[in-house]
Amino acid sequence: MQTYEIAVIGGDGIGPDVIAAGKQVLDAAGDVTGSYRLNYTDFPWGCEYYLQHDRMMPADALQTLEQFQAIYLGAVGYPTVPDHVSLWGLLLPIRKAFRQYVNLRPIKLLRGIDGPLRGKGPEEVDFVCVRENTEGEYSGVGGRVHVGTDHEVALQSIVFTRRAVERIIRYAFDYAQSHGRTGVTSITKSNAMQYNMVFWDEVFEQVAQDYPGIATSKYHVDAAAARFVTHPESFDVVVASNLFADILTDLGGALQGSLGLPPSANIDPTRRYPAMFEPVHGSAPDVHGQNIANPLAAIWAGAMLLDFLGEEEAGQLVMDAMEAVTASGEVRTPDLGGAATTQEVTEAVVTTLQNI
């Protein structure tokens, strides 16, 4: 039996609750398959840590995390700490330092869930977003001058490097090829952004030439947002910059019926550094402490973690159990129209998994 070392950062708000649920399901899948054990080390980092230590995680946190095979993260951010401080104090430094240049976000309507789109079911809503995760609009380059005066200036620069743009687009094509997907759609805004996005388009066209078997399309981000709603079935693999994909995948969560469902994987494809798995959603202070947070996004992120570790059979088992629970429609948290607690949904997934 294989043992994997997993760093766990429950983080803020509902983060610790949904990650506890995810651990319970991943452990149950390990017991059923008998093929692995996950050895968790919990780190109490986040906004509460910040209030005590004036930083979101210790100075040597990255060296600590580097020893692990994967990181399982709940949520980052709480109203007690400014959002840009929490995000730049924990989530973004991990993604950047560990070269997690791929942020993989499946957008798939699970069986039994009524998505918001008329006539669009699980067959139509089933695609994958590949988000550039280390630069672009989140490069962190900028500054403020004349602060507090009436001629104050704020600059936030977008940085696109050929290396990063090419590798994320190539990853999207490779992903399509290896997962039986037939098309890659590029998200741009090159009509208005004549430097970085024209560059993005050029690189997309160059890389596409190496994949003659994959169909290509491109949409400006505003048109893509509309098309996500009107023609979700026209997307297969979508590749986009950091901010564009961040926005579009929240829309994707809505297409899935709730932001309590979509997962995400932050991956360094070279595997030099650990990958990080997290729900797309944040800390949800509005439902925190009520035991009604939907654990499915964290559980789904856990299934992606198992796939990444090579435990695909267990990952599939978790997905099958989760989808059997949504298909039955009996046990659902309030975001999906039910009245079940976080714990009840988690137990339903565990029981289903044990009986598959």
Closer CB to ligand GGG, residue 181 or residue 281? 281
Half-sphere exposure (Cβ direction) of 321: Cα atoms closer than 13 Å = 29
Other Cβ atoms less than 10 A from the Cβ of 78: the count is 21
* 250 a catalytic residue: yes
77/115 with CB nearer ligand GGG: 77
Residue 296 within binding range of ligand GGG, rule CB under 6 A = no
Q: 221-250 burial, b for 16+ CB within 10 Å, e for fewer?
A: beebeeebeeebeebbbbbbbbebbbebbe
Cβ 93 to ligand GGG shortest distance, Å: 12
Which position among 279, 295, 302, 315 is part of the footprint of ligand GGG (CB under 6 A)? 279
* 246 interacts with ligand GGG by CB under 6 A: yes
Of the pair 13, 257, the CB lying nearest ligand GGG is at: 13
What is the C-alpha separation between 92 and 140, in angstroms, rounded?
10
Active site residue 218: no
β partners of residue 267 = 102
d(Cα 251, Cα 229) in Å, to the nearest integer?
9
Kindly state whether residue 298 participates in binding ligand GGG, applying the rule CB under 6 A. Answer: no
> Could you say which residues in the range 42-101 bind ligand GGG, by CB under 6 A?
73, 75-77
Using alpha carbons, list the distances in angstroms from residue 185 to 3, 118, 165, 356. 38, 23, 14, 36
Contact 248, 238 (CB under 8 A): yes
Catalytic residue among 31, 126, 174, 250: 250
Span interacting with ligand GGG, options 122-130, 157-165, 277-285, 322-330, rule CB under 6 A:
277-285
Q: Which of 138, 171, 219, 273 is catalytic?
A: 138
Q: Give me the numbers of helices (H) and strands (E) for the chain, helices first please.
A: 12, 12
Tell me, yes or no, if 222 is annotated catalytic: yes
**125 lies in the binding site for ligand GGG (CB under 6 A):** no
**Under a CB-based contact definition with an 8 Å cutoff, are residues 325 and 349 in contact?**
yes
- Residues 119, 126: contact at Cβ < 8 Å? no
Q: How far is the CB of 191 from ligand GGG (least distance, A)?
A: 25
Q: Tell me which of 23, 108, 189, 218 is the catalytic residue.
A: 189
Q: Is 286 a catalytic site residue?
A: no
User: One of 12, 246, 268, 335 is an active-site residue; which one?
Assistant: 246
> In this complex, which beta carbon is closest to ligand GGG, that of residue 214 or of residue 265?
265
Catalogue the active-site residues: 138, 189, 222, 246, 250
Note the residues at the interface with ligand GGG (CB under 6 A). Answer: 73, 75-77, 246, 278-279, 281-283
